[in-house]
Chains A and B, each alone.
Chain A
Amino acid sequence: MTDPGAPGLTVTGLTVRYRTLTALHGISLGVRPGEVLALAGPNGSGKTSFVRAVVGLAPVAEGRVEFGGRALASLSLEERARTIAWMPQEEPVGDNVPLREYVLYGRYPHSPRFAPVREQDRVIADRLLTELGFSDRAHVGIQELSGGERQRVRLGRVLAQETPVLLLDEPTAHLDMGHQLDLLERVRRLAHVEGRAVVAALHDLNLAARYADRVVVLQRGRIVADGLPSTVLSPALLRDVWGVTADLRTDPRTGLPYLIPRLIPADLRPSASPPFRRVHVVGGGGSATPILRALTAEGHRVTLGVVALFDSDAETAAELDVPVVAEIPFAPLGEEARAKNRDLLNEAEVIVVAPFPIGPGNLPVLEDVLDVAGRVPTYLVESPTPSARDFTGGLGASRLAALRPLSRVIANERELLRALAAPTPSTGADAHDADRGRVRPLERLEESR
């Protein structure tokens, strides 16, 4: 059990089938003694099926599970229970059994049947309780523990089986941060110090990266990645397997990868009811950032109009994959950028004017908005500090005043989302062509009556 060269758990071509559903398609993998293998994958990817098949609880249609060269299927139940211990995701709320008795349950495959509890088993149970921090509570009922403590005692029951292989199904589910780390820290010790082969199904990839020597990713019953956490975990994998956009960073203290998920794909979002629109946002100086985030989160196709390179709005746009028309900082607006921005203004279904500071460089942008505002629904986001906005000696303020009657004035991005979600967006003052086109037939109908 402590020999790192010994063959550990070997799974070959494992296929698990429930009636018509095939949960695992020919999975092959090996776990060496002393290794912590994290099993990752979205819900329904087959993690639990894999664990249950190895324990002998799921129907194995094809394939073999071996330990130390012996097929588990050929072992008796008790021999199997001395080889593999399993901690399920959930256990029924049982009786209020004293902790020592509960841990002693794990001695079942080692002790003779129909015999009273042996002293040696009691010693093992007490040692485990001490290691897990319950030495003074051996006679306390398990129901009196907190969820985190109970999980630790369940680990004790599993360890009492003294098996070379441990299978833990979501051991940290429902645990708070402290108990998660405590439990996984113990699990890692069990592998690295005691030389057990550990397979843990984990949902939290950051915990997997931190505590596992190896990560195996399942998707729809197949292995799609297998290797070191630092090589396996990547934004591409998260996008392909979980459908999540994420940033991959490196923990400067441990050098381990960690992921910051930030976007879920449109089809998983709570509501896809309002049709997504092409929205062009005119911003700068960070004024457009909350608007960009809100619009992209709702799934709108967003573009950003002329901002300076390295402007914080430009950086937000890059992070959100929003196309940007950018200009060199502190330079006058070039013809090329202005033309590009005009194109986007013309193509947009909705224009949003963020409360950006108006300077000589972007005054022309505002003039271009004025040109199209009558045709395209335009939302003017009010500045929290209107007086500090204009750096053009009144020119900017006059353009804004001209824009007001052509647009709908709103307070913030939340109001914008509500307005866009409404069945017929209106620009407030002047309805534009696109909208009229939609409304007119109804109006005619009304008039003809």
Chain B
Amino acid sequence: MPRGRAGGAAPAGGSRRRWLGALLLLGGVALVLVSPLIGPVPIPVESSLGILAHGPGPVSSPGACPGIHVSANQCRIWAEIVWQARIPAMLLALAAGAILGLSGATLQGVFRNSLADPYLLGLSTGAAMGAAILFVFDVDVAQAAFALPAFAFLGGLIPGLVIFIVGRVARRSAETLVLTGVALGAVFASLLATFLLYNPIADLQVSFWLLGGMSDATWTHDALLFGVLLAVGGVLSLLGRELNLLQLGEDVAQSVGVPVQRVTLTLVLLTTVATAAAVAFTGVIGFVGLVSPHIVRRVVGPDYRLVVPLAGLVGAGFLLLAWDIAQTALPPIVLPVGIPTSFVGAPFFLYLLLRRRAVPGASV
């Protein structure tokens, strides 16, 4: 992004770039392999591996849990944990992380602003407020399994549209957009607090939304979110060329034949939909969308045809790593996953902000 990277930050040199790419890829694979072995309930590694090898089917004998003497019942419970909690949570982290990464890269491209991110722009908080309304009005959550994404979507749509308008009218100044997002986030947070006054019981459930987590993951949620990811991610990845041209300014993009209005509206709408869906199942998770595209640009350069899909991959890995840390940092407590992402993301955000100031000629 021009402003954030101040026309510079060319991708790392050829060989360094390949190393970095290989490192990221290896790290991702390792994460996926390790994650089913991690959780708040201690299960011996050998048993976890045995359960994985056994497959998702029902466990009838303790033979599925090698390396330790356990009852068939215990083994069955462990298998249940691995296949019905750990793996769905892992998949949810991957899907939500991918959506946030894709959305962050796309928003940064649309607004020509390296500080754009679904969380900072208030999309996530808006979606969380939308979802919280359901709890507050005492709608049966089980029944609301499909109403939840719908409400989260409607909640996320509000900041999405406000940001879209501000971004166009206020000439996309980085400060303006980020501050608008912060202001919207504050408004939604206070609305959320107000709703909770009417239904204090919902407090606990809602606090989950504010920092996010994968604990409630189910295979159904996974299936839904992966569906959204494939549909939205596919379209977003196809519009990389248009995003590249938008970097020359909307006028130039249009003069070259890009239907600018339609493309930007489509992109903002799709990221809003996808973010809202992710938030509906995982709660608000900050900074994944901000950090991932920056990491990708370091490796592959500014081409959005690559940045958008790869930011999805990096986002998936980033969120999964954060989830693993959230589960293991302070056992037996499972931290909200928004805590580790913010620990990494917030200083990174500050670093970006400060670097922008330091570079002469880095127009806003």
Contact = CB atoms under 8 A, between A and B. Distances in A.
Given A95-B247, A101-B303, A108 B2 contact: no
A96 B249 contact: no
Interface residues on A, range: 20 to 34
A80 B258 CA distance: 11
Interface stretch (B6-14, B158-166, B323-331): B6-14
A93 B363 contact: yes
B257 A95 contact: no
Contacts of B5: 95-96
A78 interface: yes
Interface in B1-23: 1-2, 5, 7-10
B116 interface: no
Nearest to B303: A101
Contacts of B251: 52, 55, 57, 88
Nearest to B239: A114
Interface string B296-325: 000001110000000000000000000000
Nearest to A108: B256
Interface in B234-254: 238, 241, 244-245, 247-249, 251-252, 254
A91 B248 contact: yes
A178 interface: no
Interface string A318-349: 00000000000000000000000000000000
Given A92-B112, A95-B2, A96-B302, A108 B258 contact: yes
A9 to B, nearest CB: 15
Contacts of B256: 81, 105-106, 108-109, 161
A52 B252 CA distance: 11
Among B112, B249, B256, the most chain A Cβ lie within 10 Å of the Cβ of: B256
Contact of A95 (B1, B241, B361, B363): B1
Nearest to B244: A105
Interface string B51-79: 00000000000000000000000000000
Contact of B303 (A77, A97, A114): A97
Nearest to B302: A95
A92 B252 CA distance: 10
A58 B241 CA distance: 25
B255 interface: yes
B164 to A, nearest CB: 19
B260 to A, nearest CB: 9
Contact of A143 (B8, B252, B254): B8
Interface of B: 1-2, 5, 7-10, 112, 238, 241, 244-245, 247-249, 251-252, 254-259, 301-303, 361, 363
20 contacts: A55-B255, A57-B251, A80-B257, A81-B255, A88-B249, A88-B251, A92-B2, A92-B247, A94-B247, A95-B1, A95-B247, A95-B302, A96-B10, A96-B301, A97-B247, A98-B301, A105-B244, A109-B256, A143-B8, A161-B256
Interface of A: 52, 55-57, 77-78, 80-82, 84-86, 88, 91-98, 101, 105-106, 108-109, 113-114, 141, 143-144, 161
* A-B interface, 7 closest residue pairs, ranked by CB to CB distance from nearest: A95-B302, A81-B257, A109-B257, A78-B257, A86-B255, A94-B247, A143-B7
Given A81-B256, A101-B244, 15 more contacts: A85-B255, A88-B252, A91-B252, A92-B2, A92-B247, A92-B248, A93-B361, A94-B248, A95-B247, A96-B9, A96-B10, A97-B301, A97-B302, A106-B256, A144-B10
